[in-house]
Structure 1
Amino acid sequence: MAERFDNEAFYAALNATRLSRQLTWKDVAEQAGISASTLTRIGQGKRPDIDGLAALLQWSGLKAETFIRDGEIAEAEPLARVTALLRADPNLSPENAKVLEDIVAATYSRLRGT
């Protein structure tokens, strides 16, 4: 099966961002909060781990879906989108987000008839 994440395109986009900001790779690592060896591994064709990918996407403003190949990107289920939004809300503690998730999931399931 072909790789779904285009690591080469991701690294090229990171490099373009780095160059436009006039930074070294060491600067990128420091600003993104990752190790320089992570960037070296990506440059050697290895895929980043999920935490490294998230940090680099946040640092660069790039979107992960830009680098996904081999097919269409499915749209997330409504309940998954609501869950992600609740967990990202800085006004909710993780516990309160979970309580709301449970309420929404139960209500959604009942109203949906499943």
Structure 2
Amino acid sequence: MVKKGWFDAEAFYAALDSVRQARKLNWKQVAGESGVSASTLTRMAQGKRPDVDGLAALVAWSGLDADDYVRSEEGRPEPEPLAMISTYLRSDRNLSNEAATALDEMIKATYERLRHKD
């Protein structure tokens, strides 16, 4: 299987360590504030990748952008417009999950009906 893209856990951990140092915290405090286990941070220090929930917690805590640590052999394509719309709708705090889903489905159906077919 050809690896097309990967997460640079080493670079993410180094950036996370910079955030920790800037905030004058130890790793135990990082674990407590971010909600990840100390063992997750220890595994990351050993070059392992965090699970997706751990990554999300560390991104939320640190303010780092996980996308900055995604690497690819080839250039990364631009995101599809519908994917971006869906992302924005689902992150809108003014919408319930049900409302975001309804709008997302409506926009996708309308887009499919109106888009130019080659």
- Letter of the 1:57 partner, please give it: V
Equivalence for 1:89: 92
Deviations 1:12-60 (A, max 9, x none): 1111110111001111111111111111111111111111111111111
Percent of residue pairs bearing the same amino acid type: 54
TM-score normalised over the length of structure 2: 0.88
Equivalence for 2:33: 31
More strand by share: 2
Where structure 1 has 5 or more consecutive residues not aligned to the other structure, the ranges are none
Distance 1:33 1:75 in 2: 32
SS in 2 for 1:47: coil
Paired residue total: 114
Equivalence for 2:42: 40
Q: Does 1:77 align with 2:80?
A: yes
Distance 2:36 2:14 in 1: 18
TM-score normalised over the length of structure 1: 0.91
Q: Deviating runs (4+, > 6 A) in structure 1?
A: none
Equivalence for 2:11: 9
Two-structure CA RMSD over aligned residues (Å): 1.5
* Paired residues for 1:56-71 under 5 Å: 56-70=58-72, 71=74
Q: C-alpha displacement at 1:73, in angstroms?
A: 2.5
Q: Contact (CA 8 Å) 1:5, 1:67: kept in 2 or not?
A: yes
Where structure 2 has 5 or more consecutive residues not aligned to the other structure, the ranges are none
